[in-house]
Amino acid sequence: MRRTPALIVGGGPAGSAAAIRLARGGTAAVLVERQDDADALCGGFLSWRSLDRLAALGVDADRLNRARLTEVTLFAGDLIREARLPRPALGVSRRRLDRVLRDAADRAGAVIETGHVRAIDGTTAQIGEMAITADALFLATGKHDVRGLARPATARGSDPTLGLRLRLPASPALSRTLAGRIELHLFDRGYAGIALQEDGSANVCMAVHRSRLHAAGSPAELLALLAEQSPRLGDRLAGRDPAGPIDAIANVPYGWRQRHGSAGLFRLGDQAGVIPSLAGEGMGIALASGVSAADAYLRGGPAAAAAWQRDFARSLARPMAVAGMVRRLAESPRAAGVLRWLPPALIQVVAHATRMAP
C-alpha cells in the first residue's frame, strides 16, 4: 500500500486547483485522474470570477480562448431578452481547460497519475489492484460518485434532471451568430445553454427533467421536438451532425450541498454542492473549493476538513438559492411571461448574485 500526505481523486478544475495550491504550499500531492484526455460533459463557461481565480493560480485565460463573452441572450417562446454580462467571461472545452490546469499542477510539483478509483474507504482509495492511503483525501470526481462516498439518492428528487451535451461544428454562420455571447434557451422542464469554444465549435449543454425526456422517447426525438417548438433553438440545432453523439449524464442533483464534514475528507466541486447549470458557476465553485480546501489543509492539516466543509456549504447558500429560484421559473410554463417583464438590469443582478464570493 502506498501512502501520501494528500491524495486528490479527480483531475478536473477542482482537483487541479487543489493540487496547484498544495504543491506551492509545500505538500506532496498525488492527483489521480481516470482518463488523461477526456472531454467532460459539464462545464465550459468561465465567469469573470472564475477568470480571476485562474489568474491567481497562474493560468493565463488566453491559453484557453482568446475570445471573450460579453453578452447573454435569453429565449423563451417568441420572446428575447439581451443583457451585458457584468464583466467579460469565456467559453472553453473541458478538454482544453482540464489539460491546461493539470499542466499547471504538474509544473507546480504535484504528481499526476492515471487510474480508475473503484472505491474509497475513509481516506484510502482502491485503484485497480493498488491502494493509496493518505492523511487527507480530496474528492473531486464531479457529478460521478465513487463507491463508498456516494451522495444520497434523495438529492435527485422525484423527477431528476439529466444533462445532455452535443457539439455544433465550427462554421462562419455559427461564429457570426454566437460571437461574444452566450445563449440560454428556456423550455418546459428544461433549458439549453450555447456558447462558442476555443476551436470555433459550439457547446450545447441541456438540463432536462426525466419526465420530459421520457415523454419525447429519446434524446434525438427530444431535440427534434424542441426544434419544432423553439424555432431559434431549432435554427442552432440545424447545424449539428445528425450522426454525432449526444452525451448524457443521469440524475444530476441540482441544489444539493454537503453540509457536514469529517476529518481528513475534503469534498470539492460538485461533490461539495451542485448549482443549477444555467447560473454558469459550476466551474467557479470547482475552482473556489479546490483553492480554499487546499488553504485550509495547509493551515490546519487533515483535521481542518470538517470545519472547512461546513463553512464552504454556507458560502454556497446564497448563489445556490438564487440559482434554484431562477431555475424553477426558467423551467416552468410561466417562463415567457416572466421574461416579458424582465429588465436587463435585473439579469445583471442575478448574474452577480449567483457568483461565489471573491
Q: Say how far residue 320 (Cα) sits from the centre of its chain.
A: 13
**Cα(143)–Cα(272) distance, integer angstroms:** 10
Percentage above 90 pLDDT, the chain: 79
Provide the H-helix boundaries in the chain. Answer: 13-24, 48-56, 94-108, 172-178, 210-216, 219-229, 231-237, 282-300, 305-330, 335-340, 344-353
Higher pLDDT, 62 or 329: 62
Identify whether 108 is part of a domain: yes
Left if phi > 0, otherwise alpha if psi is -120 to 50, otherwise beta: which for 55? Answer: alpha
Q: Which residue has the cell 454556497?
A: 316
Identify whether 36 is part of a domain: yes
- Cβ distance 270 to 243 under 8 Å? no
Cell of 75: 429565449
Give the residue among 152, 107, 181, 102 at the shortest CA–CA distance from 258. Answer: 152
Residue 49: pLDDT band with limits 50, 70, 90: very high
Task: Give the count of domains, the chain.
Answer: 1
Identify whether 165 is part of a domain: no
**Cα(295)–Cα(276) distance, integer angstroms:** 26
- Give residue 134's domain range: 2-66+91-155+253-333
Average confidence score pLDDT of the chain: 93
Mean pLDDT for 164-181 is 95
Percentage above 70 pLDDT, the chain: 100
User: Which phi and psi (to 5°) does residue 241 adopt?
Assistant: -80, 115
pTM to 2 decimal places: 0.95
Specify the amino acid at residue 238: A
Identify whether 306 is part of a domain: yes
Identify whether 309 is part of a domain: yes
Identify whether 223 is part of a domain: no
Task: Give 134-165 pLDDT, tens digit per residue.
Answer: 999 999 999 889 988 988 877 777 899 999 99
Mean pLDDT for 345-349 is 87
Question: Would you give the DSSP letter of residue 37?
Answer: T
User: Which phi and psi (to 5°) does residue 68 adopt?
Assistant: -125, 155
Mean pLDDT for 124-134 is 92
- List the CATH number of the domain containing 95: 3.50.50.60
